[in-house]
Amino acid sequence: MLALRFTIQGRVQGVGFRYFVLHHARQLGVKGFVKNLPDGSVLVEAVGNEESVYSLMDLCRQGPPRARITGFLVNDALYTDYEDFIIK
- The Cα–Cα gap between 12 and 27 comes to 21
- Active-site residue, 66 included: no
- Active-site residue, 18 included: yes
Catalytic residue among 18, 26, 68, 75: 18
Catalytic residue among 5, 11, 26, 36: 36
Do residues 34 and 87 make contact, with C-beta atoms less than 8 angstroms apart? yes
Which amino acid does the sequence have at 28? Answer: L
Which amino acid does the sequence have at 22? Answer: L
Do residues 20 and 64 make contact, with C-beta atoms less than 8 angstroms apart? yes
Active site residues: 18, 36
